[in-house]
Chain A
């Protein structure tokens, strides 16, 4: 089992969709929300994912395919 800290940023059209619930259900990933800000037109969630490495990878790929931006929780690591 591994843990991964990530930030999801949701576009307006996905605000109403239970993406995080489905991530947990479909990929056997435990989701643990630490910080979030969601309003009518956009939202972000900082959370920890725990599970098998492959399940987390597949889960993140699925979340991205739905149109959610996934970033490391520390922000961009690549600097100038």
Chain B
């Protein structure tokens, strides 16, 4: 049995049983999992975790699941010491958490693995989600592994290139005519009408917990300590809040020392409601209309925006917005220095890191981890202009004519 005890309202503190439920019935605020940390602390140790499987389920004791898990090999992705990029940015201790290397090429496999495990525990036959790419692929893949039927709703303007990476797992793929907001409204109604496990609606409290494994891994890979600075992308804001929660929990459980990590969130300037709120000193995040090529984090009304804002402020962190031009440069810089091809959201992180270092917010000697959460092959169009090959005839002369000086 897990150490989860209840669902708890993040605003008013009311508690609910561990069921597929995401909102407090009284104040309509989000619910999150409560744990019995006292009992958990007795069960976990660095040695036990380190001896676990080389994937995210080595942290099973810290997650709200009871039985067998639905696993397609997610997690324990590399934490790379990024010396080349560090030299470029003038950072002595820079690491890249490369979460492109998950089975469906994004960090969403972590959250979905937990959500689908819970969907099966709750007895759902059907799971569903609404997505423009990463989440959809992950849900379809995990549903296939769990022998469950999946419905994936996508806006009609999703790039065709992304559809193959979803459709190959054979979900019921539903393309909704209408705007992004129309899809949101439809899915809200579908979730009320059908008894499905809706991954990021009624299963959201469980889904959210999967993100914590990113932070657990980083701490373990650093030799059981928290970094000085974290730079991460923010769409809904959920990942950002859970990286913080994961470090906080490890410290509470005595697995790492006190946490003094400064958390910096990055968004694309064309969709930066959380950054806007941070910079204006606002208490709440006001929705915006997304307009950026970083589509995987283009969430105009972020569900966890308020909480992400609070984390950034509480830990003495910050928030920064990146233009589309800057994020493309960020993607190229990461690829050219570290050999990592990140999606557009990764470009936002690297460009944000560059800004934070250049402005003196992140100091040269601070141990900094930048989170890359999705692979670049999914958003190739963002950097299509890098392709300009030498064209030659199949002769040595022709080759030496165009490239002789470089060979």
The 0/1 profile, CB within 8 Å of A marked 1, for residues 215-250 of chain B is 000000000000000000001100000000000000
Given A2, A42, A73, which contacts B28 in the complex, CB threshold below 8 Å?
Answer: A73
B183 touches A74 (CB 8 A): no
Q: Given the interface contacts A44-B284, A79-B130, does A74 sit within 8 Å of B27 by beta carbon?
A: no
Q: Given the interface contacts A44-B284, A69-B287, A74-B201, does A80 sit within 8 Å of B26 by beta carbon?
A: no
Chain B residues lying within 8 Å of A77, measured Cβ to Cβ, are 130, 183-184, 187-188, 191, 200-201
A75 touches B302 (CB 8 A): yes
Chain A residues 1-56 with CB under 8 Å of chain B are 2, 4-5, 7, 9, 34-35, 37, 42, 44, 46, 48
A78 touches B184 (CB 8 A): yes
Chain A residues lying within 8 Å of B286, measured Cβ to Cβ, are 9, 42, 44
Name 26 interchain pairs, CB-CB below 8 A, sorted by A.
A2-B192, A4-B192, A9-B287, A34-B26, A35-B11, A44-B286, A46-B27, A48-B28, A72-B185, A73-B23, A74-B22, A74-B30, A74-B303, A75-B236, A76-B180, A76-B300, A77-B130, A77-B183, A77-B188, A77-B200, A79-B129, A79-B135, A80-B133, A80-B135, A80-B295, A80-B297
Closest 6 CB pairs of A and B: A80-B296, A75-B303, A72-B188, A77-B187, A78-B130, A79-B135
B27 touches A35 (CB 8 A): yes
CA A80 – CA B234 in complex, angstroms?
11
Q: List residues of chain B with CB under 8 Å of any chain A CB.
A: 11, 22-23, 26-30, 129-135, 153, 155, 180-181, 183-185, 187-189, 191-192, 200-201, 204, 235-236, 283-284, 286-287, 295-305, 345, 374
Using a Cβ–Cβ cut-off of 8 Å, how many residues does chain A contribute to the interface with B?
24
Chain B residues lying within 8 Å of A70, measured Cβ to Cβ, are 185
CA A77 – CA B192 in complex, angstroms?
13
Q: How far is the CB of A41 from chain B (nearest CB, A)?
A: 10
Return the chain B residue nearest A42 by Cβ.
B286
A-B contacts counted at CB < 8 A amount to 99
Q: Given the interface contacts A37-B284, A69-B287, A80-B296, does A74 sit within 8 Å of B130 by beta carbon?
A: no
**Max count, chain B CB within 10 A of own CB: residue among A4, A34, A46, A48:** A34
